[in-house]
């Protein structure tokens, strides 16, 4: 499941997606541009709930939580891509 989600995010971002294991599950990080990316925190219990999404500014070393529906799970690749594309669009000036 994670490889399918990472592939879809990679295609949407045009860059490789980072995968980081954590105590709660994992974080997939997809680039929005040269300095900003989105981190998708996923839990370990199937169907791997999307716990949080954060915009990461690597220049400033800061993160900002992104509003998201509470019912998204890893197999909801379409909805996760919608979140990603909305953030790409927001940074291009709407």
Q: What is the pLDDT of residues 38-91, one digit of tens each?
A: 999 999 999 999 999 999 999 999 999 999 999 999 999 999 999 999 999 886
pTM over 0.85: yes
Q: Tell me if residue 80 falls in helix, strand or coil.
A: helix
Round to whole Å and give the CA distance between 53 and 9.
Answer: 13
Count how many domains the chain has: 1
Q: Check: CB of residue 29 under 8 Å from CB of residue 17.
A: yes
Q: Tell me if residue 55 falls in helix, strand or coil.
A: strand
User: What is the extent of the structural domain holding 47?
Assistant: 2-91
Q: What is the pLDDT of residues 27-39, one digit of tens each?
A: 999 999 989 999 9
Round to whole Å and give the CA distance between 74 and 1.
Answer: 7
């Amino acid at each position: 499941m994670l490889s399918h989600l990472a592939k879809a995010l990679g295609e949407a971002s045009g860059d490789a997606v980072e995968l980081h294991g954590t105590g709660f599950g994992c974080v997939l990080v997809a680039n929005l541009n040269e300095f900003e990316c989105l981190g998708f925190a996923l839990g370990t219990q199937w169907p791997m709930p999307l716990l949080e999404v954060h915009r990461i500014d690597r220049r400033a070393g800061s993160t900002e939580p992104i509003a998201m529906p509470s019912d998204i799970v890893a197999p909801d690749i379409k909805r996760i891509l919608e979140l990603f594309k909305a953030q790409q669009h927001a940074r291009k000036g709407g």
